[in-house]
């Protein structure tokens, strides 16, 4: 059989494993060819945009069908993180980039340490902007990347793959499960190997893409929506919000400092002078500032109460009101 690295392979020959891979792709909904769109390139731009927008509008419904499974996965994730575990995403290509993106948004939004929510992409950081050939095909690489993080049984590993067959994502889930970590498998095809490997299989079937096999489209949108839910609702469960206010926001620039003041105002109704004093007394920590105002305590006491309440502002307020 012709080797995958044999430059002399000519017409009529196939690289090793190519026939098997082609057969696999032929069975995937995300790879299906849509003959009704075969001449889309001849349509007016506005019509293409209308068709694409219509395609995108079907994605939330596909996510909605899996809300019970998503909610169960979130509760299990929050339970692990509450006892010190991390949320770790692992994927290749678009799926990997979406995981890295979601992880990178958690520190400024929820004041998490960068080590608490981590995105692994096959091929390493350089794969964010340039494909790393062969990286997605290695289960061993995924295992090594997880071992490099010092994976523990309290961690949650989310394998992300539109096809549900990417070896890197499957390898991450299999390795994590052997180590006792919680595992989620997010894919966009039914009966996927990734979902089968994970404790929580999340299969968001969005159908064939506008451009055949371009899973950065509907599949990517579906994955982004689920990752939004996973990280955001987990953080809500961990007490990172007060109602729908981001009380753990990290004020790292002027816009976020203004947002911090606004959040304290919305939560307390206090005057600007009171808000500035509270933020000054708590080193700019929004949650602590709210507690000093609503609970009538000083900065150090607010910090102690929140520590005792494991960061849950409502519980800290309840403790003040019962004393």
Instruction: Return the active site residues.
Output: 105, 136
Q: How far is CA 296 from CA 268, 293, 316, in A?
A: 12, 5, 12
Pairwise CA distance, residues 67 & 72, whole Å: 9
Pairwise CA distance, residues 147 & 30, whole Å: 31
Adjacent-strand bridge partners of 201? 185
Do the beta carbons of residue 103 and residue 125 sit within 8 Å?
Answer: no
Pairwise CA distance, residues 31 & 49, whole Å: 21
Q: Is 189 left (phi over 0), alpha (psi -120 to 50) or beta?
A: beta
**Cα 88 to chain centroid, rounded:** 9
């Amino acid at each position: 059989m012709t080797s995958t690295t044999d430059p002399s392979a000519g017409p009529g020959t196939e690289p090793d494993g190519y026939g098997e891979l082609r057969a696999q792709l032929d069975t995937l909904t995300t790879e299906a060819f849509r003959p009704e769109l075969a001449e889309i390139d001849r349509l007016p731009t506005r019509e293409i945009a209308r068709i694409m927008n219509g395609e995108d509008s079907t994605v939330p419904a596909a996510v909605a069908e899996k809300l019970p499974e998503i909610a169960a996965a979130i509760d299990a994730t929050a339970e692990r993180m509450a006892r010190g575990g991390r949320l770790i995403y692992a994927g290749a290509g678009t799926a990997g980039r979406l995981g890295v993106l979601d992880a990178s948004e958690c520190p400024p939004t929820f004041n998490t340490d960068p080590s608490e929510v981590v995105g692994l992409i096959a091929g390493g950081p350089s794969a964010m902007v340039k494909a790393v050939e062969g990286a997605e095909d290695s289960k061993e690489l995924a295992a090594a990347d997880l071992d490099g993080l010092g994976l523990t049984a309290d961690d949650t590993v989310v394998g992300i793959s539109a096809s549900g067959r990417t070896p890197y994502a499957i390898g991450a889930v299999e390795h994590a499960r052997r180590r006792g970590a919680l595992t989620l498998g997010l894919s966009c095809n039914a009966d996927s190997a990734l979902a089968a490997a994970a404790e929580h299989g999340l299969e968001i079937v969005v159908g064939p893409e506008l451009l055949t096999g371009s899973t950065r489209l509907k599949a990517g949108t579906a994955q982004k929506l689920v990752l939004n839910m996973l990280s955001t609702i987990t953080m809500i469960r961990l007490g990172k919000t007060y109602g729908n206010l981001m009380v753990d926001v990290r004020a790292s620039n002027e816009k976020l400092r203004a947002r911090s003041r606004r959040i304290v105002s919305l939560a307390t109704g206090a005057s600007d002078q009171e808000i500035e004093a509270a933020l000054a007394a708590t080193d700019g920590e929004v949650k602590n500032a709210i507690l000093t105002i609503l609970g009538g305590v000083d900065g150090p006491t607010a910090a102690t109460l929140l520590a005792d309440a494991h960061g849950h502002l409502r519980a800290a307020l309840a403790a003040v009101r019962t004393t």
